[in-house]
């Protein structure tokens, strides 16, 4: 397929302004004639739904939680980047742009990233105006801290609850529009398919999760802000409910899926503690501002940390990456942790952990200051591990955290299905092969508050849409397919639980398509996943009925999708014969174990097309050109 990214011409600094001027407008009176469906009410969805409604469009907004306030965005801890340069430490839009392109290992579109850096400054103004309580300095000015992959302090934060505070801002904007009648909210309603009429996205089929009623909703355009798919690995830092269903079903209706294998493994999570654990907990990257990462120099050293003298400790990030130290980007810090653990120097009961130590910072700043900065994170750590991080170093280990892949979108955030827009973590757009910390919130809010509201108008003004109604064949057949699938899941009555399939898939994904990938392992994954999928459809047991709240049924639908997506991830990882960012192929590494890119062969966005249940997906390529940032080996030394 020919992928037209619609990147505007002209100097990078002027592309977005020029594009905004050239986009068609819908006049205020005409906006009332259009309706838009927004699936998702996390930061991306809530900001988009509220803004579209403020502009005058009729909006229907859907989420599977009981309230938009419970979207996974609420979990975000550390902060949100913006090139405000309040610290006067050398930051600029250009530097944020450069850091993000480099951080993504040169696998993101320059034009998108530049626009993101430009818009970052507006986001902070918008959120402050909403009353988001960002941390402030003693004198009342907004405070900043540093995140990985940057040598400036540009991260705005609200203690360890930045996502929660930002979501409250977006949620209030959304609630205002719900109360005004501009947005109709459908909580506990899950999108199970996309309705495509005459090649355009015109609606969704959704299931009321309380009554089980399946219903079609029609509109002039559909927006998916449905989050990431890290839970394909079963264990991840994502909320348990996060899933791929909305984007996967849209993929099967024709939306291309980009870079599915680009997964972010976050270096700073509480280590796995047992076979039956169902969730992993993030310890925010912000902790690496003050915490120092180390392991014993000696293999198998089991002494408690306070008995290991300074000279016998290896502060390996500071040693290997002196310019960035403990704030090396996530992919690099994760791999370094794996390397020391593989070398037999890991800590904790199973040797799969490294220390994150605050002793120096407490000595320098005092315990109160550290409590002020990270109090809730320390408390969370103590509750989960029963260890006091003010007294002993935390133990951390990498875990699946974020998915850079997602549905392919052009510069206007429109997928390959006209009328289907994708925002936030659900699209592939801005982070290349590795997202820098504090950039997901920035992207979700840039998409929802500042980009989509312009670009969707251009589509609606030019689309010449016919009236769609629920008696049309495409609507009836899509609804029929959803009902049939629900009944099929319930009728299998096999012997294995949904969770047991999910756990098995997750382990396979982690082993074969996780932090280190090899051609041999990926081929094994591609062979084993279809067999597991086959068994799922023969042997899964979904108790209960479809006419009630049935969490096993919800999970079964999502796991069925993960069982297809997982295979695509392995295929994507196998075809990309290079290492870049979070995609580390053991065959492609430098002598000192760093990722080795192959720009001649792989400087492109991979976009996969669904070809049917038993057919191999088809790959299209969108070449990436770098005119403003020089392609170079990424170094944080």
Ligand X SMILES: Cc1cc2nc3c(=O)[nH]c(=O)nc-3n(C[C@H](O)[C@H](O)[C@H](O)COP(=O)(O)OP(=O)(O)OC[C@H]3O[C@@H](n4cnc5c(N)ncnc54)[C@H](O)[C@@H]3O)c2cc1C
| Cα gap 262→526, rounded to integer Å | 17
Q: How far is the CB of 493 from ligand X (least distance, A)?
A: 25
DSSP at 238: S
**Spatial CA neighbour of 455 closest among 416, 409, 424, 413:** 413
Q: Nearest-CA neighbor of 38 among 141, 174, 137?
A: 174
Specify whether the CB–CB gap between 284 and 396 falls below 8 A.
no
Give the residue with the Cβ less far from ligand X, 147 or 604: 147
Q: How far is the CB of 73 from ligand X (least distance, A)?
A: 3
Nearest-angstrom CA–CA distance, 514 and 2: 30
Task: For ligand X, give the closer residue by CB, 144 or 226.
Answer: 226
Alpha carbons within 13 A on the beta-carbon side of 395: 20
Of 115, 330, 503, 576, catalytic: 330
The three-class DSSP label of residue 500 is helix
Q: How far is the CB of 556 from ligand X (least distance, A)?
A: 14
Q: How far is the CB of 102 from ligand X (least distance, A)?
A: 17
Residue 144's SS3 state is coil
Q: Residue 443 CB, nearest distance to ligand X (Å)? A: 8
Measured between alpha carbons, how far is 587 from 207 in angstroms, rounded to an integer?
45
Task: Please state the closest distance from residue 439 (CB atom) to ligand X, in A.
Answer: 5
The three-point CA angle 615-621-624 to 5° equals 160
At a CB cut-off of 8 Å and minimum separation 6, what does 514 contact? 233, 263, 265, 400
Of the pair 37, 603, the CB lying nearest ligand X is at: 37
Residue whose token pair is 């506990």: 188
Nearer to ligand X, 40 or 148 (CB): 40
Instruction: Output the CA torsion 397→285→46→449 (10° steps).
Output: -140
**Which of 186, 604 has the CB closer to ligand X?**
186
Tell the smallest beta-carbon distance from residue 515 to ligand X (Å): 17
Nearer to ligand X, 73 or 334 (CB): 73
First to last CA, the chain: 40
Angle, CA 407 vertex, CA 426 and CA 450 arms, to 5°: 55
Gyration radius from the chain CA atoms: 24
Nearest to 225, CA basis, from 493, 569, 389, 456? 456
> Is residue 200 annotated as part of the catalytic site, yes or no?
no
Q: Toward ligand X, which CB reaches closer, 429 or 579?
A: 429
Contacting residues toward ligand X, per CB under 6 A: 39-45, 62-65, 71-73, 75-80, 162-163, 190-191, 225-228, 237-238, 242, 245-246, 282, 401-402, 424-426, 438-441, 444
State the catalytic residues.
Answer: 330
């Amino acid at each position: 397929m020919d992928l037209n990214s619609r990147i505007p011409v002209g100097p990078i600094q002027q592309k977005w302004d020029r594009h905004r001027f050239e986009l068609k407008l819908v006049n205020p009176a005409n906006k009332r004639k259009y309706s838009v469906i927004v699936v998702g009410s996390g930061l991306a969805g809530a900001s988009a739904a509220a803004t579209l409604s403020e502009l005058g469009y009729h909006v229907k907004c859907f989420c599977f939680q009981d309230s938009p306030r419970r979207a996974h965005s609420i979990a975000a801890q550390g902060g949100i980047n913006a090139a405000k340069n309040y610290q006067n430490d050398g930051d600029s839009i250009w530097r944020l742009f450069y850091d993000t392109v480099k951080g993504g290992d040169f696998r993101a579109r320059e034009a998108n990233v530049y626009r993101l850096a430009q818009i970052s400054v507006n986001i902070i103004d918008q959120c402050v105006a909403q009353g988001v309580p960002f941390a402030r300095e003693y004198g009342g000015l907004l405070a900043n801290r540093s995140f990985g992959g940057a040598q400036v302090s540009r991260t705005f934060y609200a203690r360890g609850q930045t996502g929660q505070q930002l979501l409250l801002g977006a949620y209030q904007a959304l609630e205002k529009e719900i109360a005004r009648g501009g947005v109709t909210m459908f909580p506990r309603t899950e999108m199970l398919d996309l309705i495509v009429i005459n090649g355009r996205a015109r609606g969704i089929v959704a299931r009321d999760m309380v009554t089980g009623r399946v219903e079609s909703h029609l509109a002039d355009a559909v927006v998916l802000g449905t989050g990431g798919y890290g839970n394909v690995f079963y264990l991840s830092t994502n909320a348990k409910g996060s899933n791929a269903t909305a984007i996967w079903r849209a993929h099967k209706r024709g939306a291309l899926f980009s870079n599915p294998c680009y997964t972010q493994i976050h270096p700073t999570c509480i280590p796995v503690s047992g076979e039956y654990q169902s969730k992993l907990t993030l310890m925010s990257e912000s902790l690496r501002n003050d915490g120092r990462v180390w392991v014993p120099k000696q293999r198998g050293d089991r002494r408690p940390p306070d008995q290991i003298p300074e000279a016998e400790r290896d502060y390996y990030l500071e040693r290997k990456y002196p310019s960035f130290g403990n704030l090396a980007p996530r992919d690099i810090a994760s791999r370094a942790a794996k390397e020391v653990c593989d070398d037999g120097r890991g800590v904790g009961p199973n040797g799969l952990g490294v220390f994150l130590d605050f002793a120096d910072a407490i000595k320098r700043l005092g315990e109160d200051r550290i409590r002020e900065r990270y109090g809730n994170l320390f408390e969370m750590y103590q509750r989960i591990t029963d260890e006091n991080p003010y007294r002993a170093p935390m133990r951390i280990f990498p875990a699946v955290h974020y998915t850079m892949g997602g549905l392919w979108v052009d510069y206007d955030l429109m997928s390959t299905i006209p009328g289907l827009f994708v925002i936030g973590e659900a699209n592939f757009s801005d982070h290349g092969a590795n997202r820098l910390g504090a950039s997901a919130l920035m992207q979700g809010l840039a998409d929802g508050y500042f980009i989509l509201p312009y670009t969707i108008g251009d589509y609606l003004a030019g689309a010449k849409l016919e009236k769609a109604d629920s008696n049309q064949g495409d609507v009836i057949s899509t609804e029929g397919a959803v009902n049939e699938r629900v009944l099929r899941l319930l009728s299998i009555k096999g012997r294995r639980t949904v969770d047991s399939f999910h756990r098995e898939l997750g382990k396979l994904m982690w082993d074969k398509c996780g932090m280190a990938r090899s051609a041999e392992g990926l081929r094994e994954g591609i062979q084993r996943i279809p067999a597991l999928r086959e068994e799922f459809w023969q042997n899964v047991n979904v108790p209960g009925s479809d006419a009630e709240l049935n969490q096993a049924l919800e999970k079964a639908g999502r796991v069925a999708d993960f069982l297809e997506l997982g295979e695509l991830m392995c295929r994507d990882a196998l075809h990309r014969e290079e290492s870049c960012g979070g995609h580390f192929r053991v065959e492609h590494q430098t002598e000192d174990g760093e990722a080795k890119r192959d720009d001649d062969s792989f400087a492109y966005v991979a976009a996969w097309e669904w070809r049917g249940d038993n057919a191999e997906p088809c790959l299209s390529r969108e070449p990436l050109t770098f005119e403003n940032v020089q392609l170079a080996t990424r170094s944080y030394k």
